[in-house]
Structure 1
Amino acid sequence: MPGYVGIDVAQSELMVCHRPEGRVWQARNTPSGRARLLAELQALAPERIVLEASGGYERPLWRLLGRAGLPVVRVQPRRIKALARALGREAKTDALDATLLAEAARLLELPPTPVPPPELEQLRELVDVRRHLIEERDSHRRRLHTIESAPARAVLTELIAALQKKIQALDRTIQQHLRTCPLVPLAAAPGLGPVLRATLAARLPELGRLDRGQIAALVGVAPYNQDSGERQGKRHISGGRADLRRVLYMATWAAIRARSVLAETYARLRA
């Protein structure tokens, strides 16, 4: 019988479950622990391995297994939670989570998640750091409106200026990376600047491999029907990659202000 593996990833531990054998064991989430687990999984030759995206802790294992040719899939937590509700699973432990992920590997016929090349991984990390710096800067800007103390305002103002300089330096690094990275074929255009190009390359590697409907669903801009019987509900977007959607939103407004082809489409749709 084909085997299926679920791996619950934590910062320092990996809980592994193999189906249909039902064996559950633990491994260390360290380079040596991941290497031993790779050897075990190669011997098992599973049909599918499922990891839950867990804040980046799963990335080293995902890269290791994917580059070794194993069929590893990264699944968003909301899909696993929906499966748990459908199966009536209420209890939660690391071992039970690994068992649930093994069930997901058996039930969900998902293709392996491709591991990006090192150049795109570096670009993704630059984009992620930039996003966190912007979130921190904007949080301080909002806080500045609520503070009246002059010394506190001075500290925040200085901190905002320092973060802005770091963001500008990071933008230059991203532009340089785009010039030297042959894996980013997106050309510059009105609204399609270096930040958006880098974000698309890093956060939407499926671009060019999936059709436009699938891409829209991944980004989270596809409107979903809410119809029942004779009632036609209001369509709305759901899920997707919110960080990418924010960058696309700002780039769209830049393209509209630049009076590009997208601006003409926007005006026609509004009309």
Structure 2
Amino acid sequence: MKYQQVVGMDIAKDSVQASRFDGTTFFDFSFPNQEKSFLKEVQKSIPKSDPSHTLFVMEATGAYHLKLATTLYKKGYSVAVVNPFIIKKYAEMLLKRAKTDRKDARLIAQFGFYQEVTLFAPKESMAEEITQVLKGLDQLKKERTNLKNYREAFTCHNEINPVVRDIYQKQLEEIEKAIKTLEAEAKRLVSQYAPKEYQLLLSIKGIGKCSATALLGLLQKMDRFSRGKEVASFLGLAPQISQSGKDKGKAWLSKKGNGYLRRLLYLAALSASRSNAQCRELYQRLLAKGKPKKVALIAVANKLLRQAFAVLKSGCPYDPHYLKLKSNLEVVLT
């Protein structure tokens, strides 16, 4: 869809620099990044028109862009949230040298006017809550690992200061308690948000409670994807292949998706390579071809993700014999 005007936004913690572009001229304006005032400031700075004629484009900036994007979406405006890496490459393509907030806003507006973008839609509120709980769990588990490593380092000495020992022990106990609390909260949320989908995911050998919860929280019910390849690409589990230059013939992961979910699926692949019949067959076949174990496990993680997509789309539990039954039926019919 071609919009009459595009508003590019360079968002910081406390302020927003914006630029409206109609294909010919830029109109620059700025306002505080405060939920109570930014909608009024935005509407004051753009001509009165049908919201469907205006597109707002902004970079993904952690949590700073989220309130603005959600508010504009709820008011009926079209919003696009773009990966900053894409904007950076677009600037390099145009040979841009200067980098200021105003020029960045103009560049984002120009990108949105001439390039095709994917429109933003906020997560369902409960899926967002699950995501918040998962981020908290991930942070706490990292802190637990760090504390254990620090405590282990002190054991190299003959004597450990009792105050230091007690502090580390107390912190570890508090973190363990917090982890159990968040795990219980994640279980409560997912049982309310998508109980059927949760059980479908658990029917896949290798996907456990944590992985199933993360898939539903971060990817919701995968409704916006039409193929399993799209999910793998979105999450950064699809191989990126070079057919030219010094890297010709090489392949690597794009790693452009959510790193936390990729780590969980990699860990799930360790289990699936033994317990999931299709994943085990894939893993052993790749090892027989001489592929490194890590490469084979990443392929298994990709397959697990596609299996998850398949059970959510079909609404049927995972059946390890499905492909064999399907092929046998085709032979009979032909």
One of 227, 235, 239 as aligned partner of 2:251: 235
One of 8, 16, 19 as aligned partner of 1:17: 19
How far apart, in 1, do the equivalents of 2:121 and 2:196 lie?
16
1:268: how far off? 3.3
Q: Which residue type is aligned with residue 250 of structure 2?
A: K
Could you list the runs of 5+ residues in structure 2 that have no partner in the other structure?
Answer: 289-334
One of 24, 40, 48 as aligned partner of 1:43: 48
Q: Contact 1:206 / 1:215 at 8 angstroms: preserved in 2?
A: no
| 1:46-61 → structure 2 map (5 Å cutoff) | 46-61=53-68
Cα 1:229–1:101 shift into 2, 3 Å:
closer
Q: Which residue of 2 aligns with 1:33?
A: 37
Cα 1:19–1:183 shift into 2, 3 Å:
farther
User: Residues 170-212 of structure 1, C-alpha deviation per residue, up to 9 Å, x if partnerless?
Assistant: 1111011111114872422333223222221222248243222
Q: Contact 1:178 / 1:184 at 8 angstroms: preserved in 2?
A: no
Q: Contact 2:18 / 2:105 at 8 angstroms: preserved in 1?
A: yes
Q: Which residue of 2 aligns with 1:104?
A: 111
How far apart, in 1, do the equivalents of 2:142 and 2:247 lie?
40
1:231: how far off? 7.8
The TM-score, its normalising length taken from structure 2, stands at 0.73
Structure having the higher helix fraction is 2
| 1:65-144 → structure 2 map (5 Å cutoff) | 65-144=72-151
1:53: how far off? 0.9
Q: Contact 1:256 / 1:266 at 8 angstroms: preserved in 2?
A: yes
Q: Contact 1:130 / 1:167 at 8 angstroms: preserved in 2?
A: yes
Q: Contact 1:184 / 1:201 at 8 angstroms: preserved in 2?
A: no
Could you list the runs of 5+ residues in structure 1 that have no partner in the other structure?
Answer: none
Structure number with greater Rg is: 2
How far apart, in 2, do the equivalents of 1:124 and 1:56 lie?
13
How far apart, in 2, do the equivalents of 1:83 and 1:268 lie?
41
Q: Contact 1:50 / 1:72 at 8 angstroms: preserved in 2?
A: yes
User: Residues 189-243 of structure 1, C-alpha deviation per residue, up to 9 Å, x if partnerless?
Assistant: 3332232222212222482432222211111111111222798422111132222
Q: Which residue of 1 aligns with 2:209?
A: 194
Q: Which residue type is aligned with residue 27 of structure 1?
A: F
Q: Which residue of 2 aligns with 1:178?
A: 190
Q: Which residue of 1 aligns with 2:231?
A: 215
| 1:130-169 → structure 2 map (5 Å cutoff) | 130-147=137-154, 148=156, 150-151=160-161, 152-169=164-181
Cα 1:57–1:165 shift into 2, 3 Å:
same
Q: Which residue type is aligned with residue 35 of structure 2?
A: P
Q: Which residue of 1 aligns with 2:331?
A: none
Q: Which residue of 2 aligns with 1:2?
A: 4
1:156: how far off? 3.1
User: Residues 33-73 of structure 1, C-alpha deviation per residue, up to 9 Å, x if partnerless?
Assistant: 22314534583544422111112111111111122221111
Secondary structure of the corresponding residue to residue 118 of structure 2: coil
The RMSD of aligned alpha carbons is 2.6
Q: Contact 2:206 / 2:276 at 8 angstroms: preserved in 1?
A: no
Does 134-143 or 88-97 show the bigger shift? 134-143
Secondary structure of the corresponding residue to residue 32 of structure 1: coil
Does 226-235 or 198-207 show the bigger shift? 226-235
Q: Which residue type is aligned with residue 213 of structure 2?
A: A
Secondary structure of the corresponding residue to residue 210 of structure 2: helix
Cα 1:258–1:166 shift into 2, 3 Å:
farther
Q: Contact 1:224 / 1:238 at 8 angstroms: preserved in 2?
A: yes
| 1:228-267 → structure 2 map (5 Å cutoff) | 228=244, 232-240=248-256, 241-259=258-276, 261-267=278-284
Secondary structure of the corresponding residue to residue 39 of structure 1: helix
How far apart, in 1, do the equivalents of 2:247 and 2:255 lie?
23
